[in-house]
């Protein structure tokens, strides 16, 4: 198959318009036809026609109370002080709730207002009743021929009850859109496979299929196809027979192994190849055999974002619905965001309410970073042809969680430590409505975030070289106008993380200056970086003597992963990170890792559950199990400034 490579750079709205025009030309822009299903199976389905009442409900005059059916006119004058006697069964007939009212009777006297005389041949009533009192007349709920449910209505449990109550056993509902998902790439392996370098776990189809089902469709996950155009073509053609939309995942760009565009062009037509957006630029939209085609990027964040923007509206249209709209709120950005001028960017953010305002912290922007979507609270659209947003700018956040969940989130910005993840887990276990959200920007950055009112707390382990104290001088310098509490958290062992067996025989910092040793550093402003620079100064070592000094990562686990992968021979980090990845560790010394909390936040109701968890025996034991930690001051107020 000859290759005809091209990538456009058109706006999102224009791309959608092009595709919809092509779908309209083959009548694929209309709701799908209906199918009959049992009422009991119809929850969540969409009505394909109106539902009219086949019978009235109730279909007879029914007693609304336990008591005696009577003729209202014969009860006049009855009083508690002057009861009225009625003969049974000529003037009064006993009925339970829901029983039919006997012919000729038009009201019910509640059993509470009745005194049954000897042998039940008569009763005395203590109050008169009006005509039709305590009676559900025929058709009170629904009348034959009444509109019960409109077309294009998503069926809820109460709707099923109404449909059954007015005589329906089956309903005509929209056929679910059928979507086939075809992963491509010889490197793809099933989840749980034994992995070797170059293997990629194929989980995109799992996520995309779940979205299809969440949006009301039926998904078929096809086995991965190798990077062979003829095999991809055969798979797509086969899928088109039984599906309304075939999605090819990966191979949508213009690389040597990207064949999706060629395949689509060979079997149908392409309306779009390349949208000015990120993540998700190399998108392909087309039609073939009277069906819809979509080629989406292989990176998970790109795949999910393009699926949400392009496939969700299509499935909604096929179901006769509008795309579901997520809630939004306005928030202040915690840092400056730069964005390419020619693309719409859909930026993942973490959101929390600090004081009386919402703050949004941008997350990792890589298209392959699935955890940025797992941890994200919302999406901020950075418009095409803008340069981005300055720090503090007010932006609209499309929420991925409820507003209530965001308001019950505690925002921690500062130094990374594994114990924060443990704390977040124990908080959620004990208080399911609360969340601890951590952003790793280093100790220095965390204190600055507190000064700007962008966080509830910050983890910090900044060493003052002059005094040997941790955090105190930095708090005084960076938070002079913000009263804070310094809460003791953990003491941890810092040291050199090396591969198992320490193959380079690294024993001291001076070994890092050897030409055969590659180091991986933490980012500027992190407490570990401050400590490292301090130790280098003590040892008389210049940073430029160390190969890799300028390579930076933002967490202890990230530098440990670099050592684990062979990208570095050594890193400075905590013992728990080395232990987590089965690496060797050469301790250099102990340090404090404390929590800095503004006084107003420390006293707020929101933070009290977190403090309870921090001071619990269960959390202390969990921290100890990580290894490399001591907790003599855990939860103790060390100072207030």
pLDDT tens column, 441-499: 889 999 999 999 999 999 999 999 889 899 999 999 999 999 999 999 999 999 999 99
**Residue 432: pLDDT band by 50, 70, 90 thresholds?**
very high
CATH superfamily label, 454-640? Periplasmic binding protein-like II (3.40.190.10)
Look at residue 300 in the predicted model and tell me its pLDDT.
92
CATH superfamily label, 328-443? MoeA, C-terminal, domain IV (2.40.340.10)
Look at residue 349 in the predicted model and tell me its pLDDT.
94
Beta strands 584-598; 629-630: pairing state: unpaired
Strand partners, 457: 412
Look at residue 2 in the predicted model and tell me its pLDDT.
47
What's the fold here for domain 62-136?
A: Molybdopterin biosynthesis moeA protein; domain 3 (2.170.190)
> Which is nearest to 360 in space by CA: 409, 312, 294?
409
User: CATH assignment of 34-57+141-174, given 3.30.70.270, 3.40.50.150, 1.10.150.650, 3.90.105.10?
Assistant: 3.90.105.10
Phi, psi of 579 (to 5 degrees): -65, -40
Residue 509 falls in which region: left (phi positive, over 0), alpha (psi -120 to 50) or beta: alpha
Structure tokens at 375: 């941890």
Structure tokens at 195: 């992995």
Angle at which helices 418-430 and 617-626 pack, to 10 degrees?
A: 150
**Token pair 């208080």 in the structure block, residue:** 431
- Measured CA to CA, the distance from residue 287 to residue 22 in angstroms comes to 7
Beta strands 92-95; 67-70: pairing state: antiparallel
Contacts of 221 (CB under 8 A, 6+ apart): 181, 205, 206, 209
- Sequence ranges of the domains in the chain: 12-31+177-318, 34-57+141-174, 62-136, 328-443, 454-640
Q: Which residues of 262-295 are buried (b: 16+ CB within 10 A; e: fewer)?
A: bbbbbbbebbbbbbbbbbbbbbbbbbbeebbbbb
CATH tag, 12-31+177-318: 3.40.980.10
Span 558-600, pLDDT tens digits: 999 999 999 999 999 999 999 999 999 999 989 999 999 999 9
Mean pLDDT of 160-164: 97
Residue 297: Cβ-neighbour burial (10 angstroms; 0-12, 13-18, 19+) = buried
Structure tokens at 450: 């507190």
- Measured CA to CA, the distance from residue 371 to residue 301 in angstroms comes to 9
- Measured CA to CA, the distance from residue 227 to residue 260 in angstroms comes to 10
- Long-range Cβ contact pairs of 507-511 (< 8 A, separation 24 or more): 507/586, 508/539, 509/535, 509/536, 509/539, 509/541, 509/588, 510/539, 510/541, 511/570
**Residue 386: pLDDT band by 50, 70, 90 thresholds?**
confident
Q: What is the pTM of this model?
A: 0.86
- Measured CA to CA, the distance from residue 29 to residue 318 in angstroms comes to 7
3-class DSSP state of 301: helix
Residues in the chain, total: 641
């Amino acid at each position: 198959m000859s290759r005809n490579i091209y990538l456009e750079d058109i706006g999102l709205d224009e791309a959608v318009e092009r595709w919809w025009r092509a779908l309209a030309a083959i009548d694929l822009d209309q709701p799908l036809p209906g199918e009959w299903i049992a009422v009991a199976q119809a929850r969540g389905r969409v009505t394909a026609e109106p539902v009219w009442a086949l019978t009235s409900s109730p279909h007879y005059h029914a007693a609304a109370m336990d008591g005696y059916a009577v003729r209202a006119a014969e009860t006049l004058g009855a009083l508690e002080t002057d009861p009225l006697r009625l003969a049974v069964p000529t003037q009064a007939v006993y009925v339970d709730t829901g029983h039919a009212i006997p012919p000729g009777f038009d009201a019910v006297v509640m059993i509470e207002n009745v005194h049954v005389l000897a042998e039940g041949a008569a009763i005395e009533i203590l109050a008169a009743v009006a005509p039709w009192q305590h009676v559900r007349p025929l058709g009170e709920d629904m009348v034959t021929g009444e509109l019960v449910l409109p077309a294009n209505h998503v069926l809820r449990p109460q709707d099923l009850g109404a449909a059954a109550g007015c005589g329906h056993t089956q309903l005509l509902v929209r056929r679910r859109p059928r979507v086939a998902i075809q992963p491509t790439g010889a490197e793809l392996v099933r989840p749980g496979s034994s992995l070797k370098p170059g293997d990629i776990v194929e989980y995109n189809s799992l996520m995309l299929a779940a979205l299809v089902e969440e949006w009301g469709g039926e998904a078929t996950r096809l086995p991965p196809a190798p990077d062979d155009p003829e095999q991809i073509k055969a798979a797509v053609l086969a899928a088109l027979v039984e599906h309304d939309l075939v999605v090819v995942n990966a191979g949508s760009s213009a690389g040597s192994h990207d064949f999706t565009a060629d395949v689509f062009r060979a079997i149908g037509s392409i309306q779009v190849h390349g949208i000015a957006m990120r993540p998700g630029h190399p998108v392909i939209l087309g039609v073939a055999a009277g069906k819809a085609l979509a080629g989406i990027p292989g990176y998970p964040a790109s795949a999910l974002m393009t699926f949400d923007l392009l496939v969700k509206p299509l499935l909604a249209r096929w179901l006769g619905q509008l795309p579901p709209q997520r809630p939004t709120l306005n928030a202040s950005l915690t840092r400056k965001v730069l964005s390419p001028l020619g693309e719409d960017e859909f930026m993942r953010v973490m959101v929390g309410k600090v004081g009386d305002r919402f703050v949004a912290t941008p997350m990792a922007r890589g298209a392959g970073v699935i955890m940025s979507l797992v941890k994200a609270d919302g999406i901020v659209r950075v418009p095409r042809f803008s340069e981005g947003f300055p720090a503090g700018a007010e932006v609209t956040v499309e929420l991925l969680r409820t507003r209530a969940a965001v308001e019950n989130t505690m925002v921690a910005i500062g130094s990374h430590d594994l114990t924060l993840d443990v704390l977040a887990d124990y908080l959620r276990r004990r208080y399911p409505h609360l969340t601890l959200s951590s952003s790793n920007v280093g100790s220095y950055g965390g204190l600055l975030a507190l000064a700007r009112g962008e966080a509830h707390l910050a983890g910090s382990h900044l060493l003052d070289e002059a005094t040997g104290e941790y955090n105190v001088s930095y708090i005084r310098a960076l938070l002079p106008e913000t009263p804070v509490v310094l809460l003791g958290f953990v003491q941890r062992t810092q040291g050199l993380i090396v591969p198992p067996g320490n193959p380079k025989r690294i024993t001291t910092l001076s070994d890092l200056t050897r030409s055969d040793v590659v180091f991986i550093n933490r980012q500027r402003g992190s407490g570990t970086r401050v400590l490292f620079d301090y130790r280098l100064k003590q040892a008389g070592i210049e940073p430029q003597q160390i190969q890799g000094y300028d390579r930076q990562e933002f967490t202890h686990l990230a530098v440990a992963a670099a050592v684990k992968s062979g990208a570095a021979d050594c890193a400075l980090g905590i013992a728990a990170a080395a232990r987590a990845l089965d690496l060797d560790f050469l301790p250099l010394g102990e340090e404090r890792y404390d929590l800095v909390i503004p006084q107003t936040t420390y006293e707020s109701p929101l933070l009290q559950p977190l403090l309870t968890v921090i001071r619990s025996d269960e959390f202390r034991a969990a921290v100890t199990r990580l290894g490399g930690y001591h907790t003599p001051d855990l939860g103790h107020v060390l100072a207030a400034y």
